[in-house]
Amino acid sequence: MGPDPPAITVCVPTYNRARYLPQALESIAAQTHAGWEAVVYDDASTDDTAEVIGSFRDDARFRFFRQPRNVGIAANRNACLREARGDYIAWLDSDDVYEPEMLATQAAVLDRRPGVGLVHGAFRVIDSEGAGLADWRLPFEEDTVEPGARAFAELTLENYVAAPTTLVRRACHERAGSYPEGRGTTSSTDWEMWLRIALIADVAYTSRVVASYRLHDESISSQTTATGERLRCDAAVIRRTFASRLRIPERERLRRRATAALAARAVLTATDLFGRGRRRRALKALAVSVRARPRTLAERSTWRLATGIARGDEYEVYRGSKDLLRSLHAAASPSRFADRIRKVAVPDDAWEDMVRRTARTIERVTPAAARVAVVDKHDPTILALSGRDGWHFPDRALQPDGYPADSERAVTYVEELRARGATHIVFPSASFWWLDFYSGLRDHLETTYRPVCREDHCLVYELAGRERAAA
């Protein structure tokens, strides 16, 4: 008679992640929960993955397998599932990292609540070197249990379940079936699985940070987002889900909301790609929005957005996207996703007033030939109304994935923009917090450059240097 099966199987599908795999496997070995095994399935990697795996073979809790050829992420996930023996299944992508209490925290929820089939939780975001990045928005502020039907309705609008924080009942995985393979499954198959499970059982969330999600250029998420493939895969998930024989309550109403949310996310992706200088891909992303909601094709805002992208007119893109998102927000309501879209799409009177006042101030205190960096949340209105050429700060070419990690990097970005020709940097009042949070940036600006405006609605520094400005 063999040993009892472990309580938990951690599935680790991997492909060419030799750089990150050791930290992922070490984080499993460091778990405070003792009853686990790890199934590591190598999808025919061509890097040093075999050598990394070799260093863990003495630990019998790790079971290693290798595909004879590359089969893709979905098929490799299914291979992991076939080898899993635990009553609970955890997922850890090989570039992510567990906190020591991850399995114990999530298993306790499933142990206490038999009606919960999936538990996910809070996480940190780290870069390729393991340094912390700005936190992402988390779905809840406290521990939460969502009835399955409610979770399904919200999940059709966006995937808010972070895979490295998940623990799933094996029985739910078996009822939900395998991950979809074939065309349109390069990304988003985990989202499709969470949708299926929500139709079977309740979904829980733990507010304790249980994992770190690694954001880097080689990740599937980053690569598919940059090419627009992730958006197309998301569209395929919605099509497959609502065309399936799954028992979906209020199917048609939820389908309409889901397609509106997909269209909204396509608009957001299009504007983001445009901001990164990828106009052709931005137009392809906008096409996903039109296919999701064909009647949006007739809206003036769609044509305004498409024309702005084609011409490279940032202000037209911004205004067109706002107009289009307002109509899509209404179609996706009521939902948490629609509430967030509303914050993006519906004008804020205080912000609009501050933007106009800041634009007038820039006109007054800078020369017409000034090239201005503005801490403006990538809203081009200030630059457009002030008639000045310039950049958003942080510039997406220098900091594509959000805020600088620390003051030193913030200073570096200012100096790089100055080297590219920036003559001034502007902080509208809504961005004054930058100078508190990045105190080193504040000290650098105060000691190196001259403030040419200090008013309640904005602060402007001339980037000429005190000596040059005095001359």
Tens-place pLDDT, residues 301-327: 788 899 999 999 988 898 889 888 888
* Residue pair 452/440 in contact by the 8 Å Cβ criterion: no
So what's the pLDDT on residue 296? 56
Distances (CA, A) of 394 to 275, 278, 464: 12, 18, 19
> SS3 for 71?
coil
Distances (CA, A) of 211 to 46, 72, 103, 166: 27, 24, 10, 10
So what's the pLDDT on residue 163? 95
So what's the pLDDT on residue 467? 46
What burial class does residue 70 get, using C-beta atoms within 10 Å of its C-beta: 0-12 exposed, 13-18 middle, 19+ buried? middle
So what's the pLDDT on residue 343? 81
CATH for 8-216 is 3.90.550.10
* Residue pair 78/29 in contact by the 8 Å Cβ criterion: no
Unique residue bearing structure tokens 């399936």: 244
What burial class does residue 44 get, using C-beta atoms within 10 Å of its C-beta: 0-12 exposed, 13-18 middle, 19+ buried? middle
Give residue 184's region: left, alpha or beta (phi > 0; psi -120 to 50): left
So what's the pLDDT on residue 73? 92
State the Cα–Cα distance between residues 380 and 388, nearest whole angstrom: 11
State the Cα–Cα distance between residues 402 and 385, nearest whole angstrom: 25
For the chain, residues with pLDDT lower than 70 are 1-3, 294-299, 397-402, 465-471
So what's the pLDDT on residue 471? 41
Domain coordinates in residue numbering, the chain: 8-216, 250-345, 349-470
So what's the pLDDT on residue 1? 43
* Residue pair 117/204 in contact by the 8 Å Cβ criterion: no
So what's the pLDDT on residue 291? 83
Cα dihedral 266→258→237→14 (10° resolution): 70
So what's the pLDDT on residue 114? 96
So what's the pLDDT on residue 51? 93
State the Cα–Cα distance between residues 248 and 166, nearest whole angstrom: 23
Its pTM stands at 0.83
How many beta carbons lie within 10 A of that of residue 280, not counting itself?
11
So what's the pLDDT on residue 3? 64
Helices (H), 32-101: 49-54, 73-83
